[in-house]
Amino acid sequence: MTPIVKVVVRLVGGFIFLYGCYIVLYGHLSPGGGFAGGAIIAAGLILSRLAFGTTAKQEKSASISSSIFESTGGLLFLLVGLLGLFVGGYFFINLFPSFGTQGRLVSAGSIPFSNIAIGIKVAAAILSIFLVLASTKYIFKE
């Protein structure tokens, strides 16, 4: 890519990532949440890949780590549900309904935790879709 793109991405990439984290963490208070924030985080990661390019080795390690993160996100989300089952007696019951102040960052019980899990899962999943599209090439022939 041209130096213009590289410089702009170097400036903006971190902020996009940070903005994605903000959307994930404030999902229970403002519009957004795990899916939207995860997609923004993935956009930041994809942007730097597009601007600077990668080697085949980096692509391989990135696809392994993104699939591990994806599974971890899914397992964390399931864990939030199962903790509700084993601690509170019902799947996905709110574990700390009255913890924190209403309307502040620390509030809303289990919802921020499930948002974080969804954010990890979505970011890793979108990144791995990008990696698959970027690194494979199918030729259709009968």
Partner 1 sequence: METFPVLLIAIPLGGAFLVPILYKAWRRLAEIVAGLCLATVLALSIYLAFFLVPGKPLVYLFGNWPVPLGIAFAVDKLSSLMLLIVSILAFFSYLFAIRYMDQFTGAGKFYTLYLLMLVGMNGVVMTGDLFNMFVFMEIAGLAAYALVAFGTKPKELEAGFKYMVMGEIASLMILLAIALIYAATSTLNLADLSRAFATMDKTPGFYFVVILLMFGFSLKAGLVPFHFWLPDAYPSAPAPVTAVLSGVFTKALGVYAMARILFNVYGFSRASSPEVFNALLILGLVSIVVGGLLALPQKDYKRLLAYSSISQIGYIVLALGIGNEFALIGAFAHILSHSLGKGLLFLTSGSVVYRVGERDITKFTGGLGKQMPWTSLSYNLGALSVAGMPPFLGFFSKLFIILGAVKAGFIVPAVVAGLFAVVTLGYLLKITNKVFWGKEGIKGIKESPFVMVFAMVCLVVLLVAGGAFFFWLKPHLLQPAADVLLKGTEYADIVFRIGTGG
Neighbours of 50 (CB within 10 A): 14
Q: Residues 6 or more apart from 60 whose CB is under 8 A from it?
A: none
Q: The tokens 């574990």 sit on which residue?
A: 95
* Contact window for partner 1 (CB under 8 A) among 1-9, 13-21, 29-37, 92-100: 92-100
Tell me which DSSP letter residue 102 carries. Answer: T
Nearest to 23 by CA among 50, 42, 46: 42
* Contact window for partner 1 (CB under 8 A) among 34-42, 43-51, 52-60, 68-76: 68-76
Residues 19-58 that bind partner 1 (CB under 8 A): none
Tell me which DSSP letter residue 119 carries. Answer: H
- What CA–CA distance (Å, rounded) separates 86 from 81? 9
Minimum Å distance from CB 67 to partner 1? 6
Which of 15, 52, 90, 99 forms a contact with partner 1 (CB under 8 A)? 90
Nearer to partner 1, 13 or 81 (CB): 81
- What 3-state DSSP class applies to 15? helix
Which of 25, 46, 83, 93 forms a contact with partner 1 (CB under 8 A)? 93
> At residue 27, what is the residue type?
G
Nearer to partner 1, 44 or 119 (CB): 119
- Binding residues for partner 1, rule: CB under 8 A, are 64, 67-68, 70-72, 74-75, 78, 81-82, 84-85, 88-94, 138, 140-142
